[in-house]
Amino acid sequence: MKEHLLSIENLKVNFKTYGGEVQAVRGVTFHVGKGETVAIVGESGCGKSVTAQAIMGLIPNPPGRIVDGKVVFEGTEISKLPKKELLGIRGTQIGMVFQDPMTALNPTMKVGAQIVEGFVRSQKVSREEAKKRAIEMLRLVGIPDPEQRVDQYPHQFSGGMRQRVVIAIALACDPKLVIADEPTTALDVTIQAQILDLLKQLQEEQELSVVIITHDLGVVAEIAHRMVVMYAGMVVETGTVEEVFANPRHPYTWGLMRSLPRLDENEKQRLIPIEGAPPDLFNPPVGCAFAARCDFAMEICKQQMPPTTTFDKGHEAVCWLHDERAPRIDELVAAGRQGS
């Protein structure tokens, strides 16, 4: 079994607003092994990006704060570190690829200068040496003519090339973990494939650990070893990609699978959306957060939080349907699989 590089334990993050306190992340637990790619999936507003920001220590306080739980990186609880010590880890041992490269990059600085900044700050090398390394990083991520491109501004790059620059910045200081937040959003499918291939190649060559945040199950199938399914700020299912895709155990995961186009079907099938909307996280439900949208919800689902059930190969789901007292469990699971 691979040693855990990163462990998230019972993480809770709240945000104070004029309307009350939003419970954005509610007890998230998962881990990332060395050299492993873990995908965090779920619809918008489920807490994926907030979880990533908490790992990096980027939750703005105020209005946000980590209420409970811990983030452990290489045996050190980094969620409790002073800001100065955390800065020594962020960018050097943990890199981040942000969702929108145009806002992640400084439009007034040449791209080379933005890569050089990380080298100079963390490795205390000369600017001349740092620029040479910046050129090598641009070459590594597939930027053509890096000697010329290093002195250009972000607006002179296409969307796909800007994303490669953001990846180069994240990898510049040879981190052990990279967190990629929706790295293929707003890119056309050809460029998406190139970016995914690049991440996969770099992960294998440099033995990186990667956390990729996405709502695209196609991305998950392409790049990830394990997946974490989040809903309403909580983890509802986790397991290897093969196991979760082949045998999803939570009704929310069934819904995500039903909304995914299938190329192996002989006849055309309509995609089935998940009816309803996520719950209000100002006042989240006491029971299962998905109960109001679930076709198989029982009375207890609305009254009590379901337990975690563990299946084969570390596959887990948080659902009352797997309780031994639940009625017609085989029929209910079969019905869910038929739609997936």
Q: What is the pLDDT of residues 75-128, one digit of tens each?
A: 999 998 988 888 888 878 999 998 888 888 999 999 999 998 878 777 777 888
Q: What is the pLDDT of residue 70?
A: 94
Using pLDDT thresholds of 50, 70 and 90, give the confidence band for residue 332: low
| 97-120: b (≥16 Cβ within 10 Å) or e | bbbebeebbeeeebbbbbbbbbbb
% of the chain beyond a pLDDT of 70: 93
Per residue in 33-62, pLDDT (tens digit) is: 999 999 999 998 899 999 999 999 999 888
Total number of residues shown for the chain: 340
Question: Does the pLDDT of residue 328 top 90, yes or no?
Answer: no
Instruction: Determine phi and psi for 249, rounding to 5 degrees.
Output: -115, -5
Q: Are strands 234-240 and 316-318 parallel, antiparallel or unpaired?
A: antiparallel
Q: Provide the CB-side half-sphere exposure for 142 (13 A, CA).
A: 15
Per residue in 218-253, pLDDT (tens digit) is: 889 989 999 999 999 999 999 999 999 999 999 999
Q: What is the pLDDT of residue 329?
A: 58
Using pLDDT thresholds of 50, 70 and 90, give the confidence band for residue 338: very low
Give pTM, 2 decimals. 0.89
Place of tokens 């296409």: 158
pLDDT, the chain, mean: 88
Strands of 20-33's sheet, edge to edge?
Answer: 20-33, 4-17, 64-73, 76-77
Question: Does the pLDDT of residue 22 top 60, yes or no?
Answer: yes
DSSP 8-class letter at 62: T
From CA 72, how far away is CA 332, in angstroms rounded? Answer: 38
DSSP SS3 for 37:
strand
Per residue in 283-321, pLDDT (tens digit) is: 999 999 999 999 888 899 999 999 999 998 889 999 999
Average pLDDT over residues 171-181: 90
Q: What is the pLDDT of residue 310?
A: 95
Place of tokens 């017609």: 328
Question: Does the pLDDT of residue 30 top 80, yes or no?
Answer: yes
Angle between helices 159-171 and 189-206 (to 10 degrees): 20
Question: Does the pLDDT of residue 8 top 90, yes or no?
Answer: yes
From CA 36, how far away is CA 142, in angstroms rounded? Answer: 23
- Greater confidence (190 vs 180) lies with 180
Using pLDDT thresholds of 50, 70 and 90, give the confidence band for residue 340: very low
Question: In this structure, which amino acid lies at residue 110?
Answer: K
Q: What is the pLDDT of residue 337?
A: 46
Average pLDDT over residues 266-270: 62
